[in-house]
Amino acid sequence: MAGVGSGYDLTTTTFSPEGRVYQVEYATKAVEQSGTVIGIRCVDGVVLAVENLRGVKLLRPDSLRRIFAVDRHIGIAVAGIGPDGRHMVGRARSEAQNYRSVYAEEIPPSLLAERLASYAHVYSLYWHVRPFGCTILIGGWDASQGPCLYVVEPDGSGYKYRAYANGKGRTAVRTALNKLNFEQLTCTSAVQEIARMIHQSRDIAKDKPYELEMAWISEASDHKFARVPGALVVSSRQAVEEEPQQMETGGSTASADRGETPSTSTHIMEES
């Protein structure tokens, strides 16, 4: 038991003397190994995207998805362990349905995020359960506030973001996200930006091929969850892949960063 946790990492019911809960931190590690997941709140909607890594070539396109519809106005993207994410999605769907049966209205994304955060938190309190090995990005359309993006972490925290990224390419992507102008960014251009960010965060020599999975809840989709039209995804991806090594320097730093440094907390958090 001479590992990192030195016996303090066996359950979430034990703190380390430094005040850390190792099991939860390990769960976060699972998230960081995931394919890159990005969410951006734009002026006309919110975009969710996943770099869906395809290690197995025999997989059919569109199988093993990581973005799911929760209700007509909410979608969730999963970073980390897929099945854990699907369980959260199932919970989210029943929360959404339950809210509707009580109030005859769509659940506000903020409330869904809050409930899912509480749900995830419970899994960091008892010895007989393990925390969720996933971070979920909740993109939704709020009836009064418009598009919004929430993120629920394995420790049970939930934040509202302008934009968020996690997974292998997070460092480079977060840097790129910081440079966006959210006051003017539209969903369509966000799709293109995301395609570029994911492309540039990758090490072509080492990384597995990927499928770019994207969904949005936007004005274009009538404020409903919808997959981003295939043609737009393909053209955005082609555009960046065909660009000559223009961003070479940025690209190489990104791949050096990839999956190494832990979070330096460059998320763009919304001041409310």
Partner 1 sequence: MIETPTHTTEPIVTGSSVLGVQCVDGVVLACDTLASYGSLARFQRITRLHQPAPGVVIAGGGEYSDLQQLFRITDNIFRQEFCQEDGYELSPRALHSYLARVLYGRRSRMDPLYNSLAVAGKGRFLGCIDLYGTAFESEAVATGIGALLALPLIRKQWHAALAMDEGVRLLEECLRVLYYRDCRALRSVQVAKVSDSGEVLISEPYELSNLQWKVAQAAEEV
What tokens appear for 197 in the block? Answer: 């960010």
Cα dihedral: 256, 258, 264, 266 (round 10): 100
Q: Is 272 in the site for partner 1 (CB under 8 A)?
A: no
Identify which of residues 72 and 130 has a Cβ nearer to partner 1 in the complex.
72
Binding mask 200-239 for partner 1 (x = CB under 8 A): -------------------------x-x------------
Q: Is 93 in the site for partner 1 (CB under 8 A)?
A: yes
Tell me 107's DSSP state. P
Q: Roughly what angle, to the nearest 10 degrees, separates helices 187-200 and 230-242?
A: 40
The distance from CA 89 to its chain's CA centroid, rounded to whole angstroms, is 13
Q: Is 70 in the site for partner 1 (CB under 8 A)?
A: yes
What angle (nearest 5°) sits at the alpha carbon of residue 13, between those of residues 7 and 18? 60
Nearest in space to 174 (alpha carbons), one of 202, 197, 149: 197
Shortest distance, position 85 Cβ to partner 1, whole Å: 14
Q: Is 68 in the site for partner 1 (CB under 8 A)?
A: yes
Separation CA 257–CA 152 (nearest Å): 24
Burial class from Cβ neighbours inside 10 Å (0-12, 13-18, 19+) for residue 8 reads: middle
**Interactions with partner 1, residue window 11-40 (CB under 8 A):** none
Q: Is 87 in the site for partner 1 (CB under 8 A)?
A: no
Separation CA 266–CA 263 (nearest Å): 8
The answer to whether the CB of 46 falls within 8 A of the CB of 147 is yes
Q: Which of 97, 157, 178, 252 binds partner 1 (CB under 8 A)?
A: 97
**How many residues make up the chain in this entry?**
272
Stretch that binds partner 1, among 62-70, 131-139, 140-148, 189-197 (CB under 8 A): 62-70
Nearest in space to 143 (alpha carbons), one of 192, 169, 108: 108
The residue count for binding partner 1 (CB under 8 A) is 11
Stretch that binds partner 1, among 12-20, 66-74, 190-198, 235-243 (CB under 8 A): 66-74
Identify which of residues 72 and 87 has a Cβ nearer to partner 1 in the complex.
72
Stretch that binds partner 1, among 61-69, 112-120, 154-162, 173-181 (CB under 8 A): 61-69
Q: Which of 54, 72, 86, 91 binds partner 1 (CB under 8 A)?
A: 72
Q: Is 173 in the site for partner 1 (CB under 8 A)?
A: no
Shortest distance, position 50 Cβ to partner 1, whole Å: 14
The residues binding partner 1 (CB under 8 A) are 65, 68-72, 93, 97, 101, 225, 227
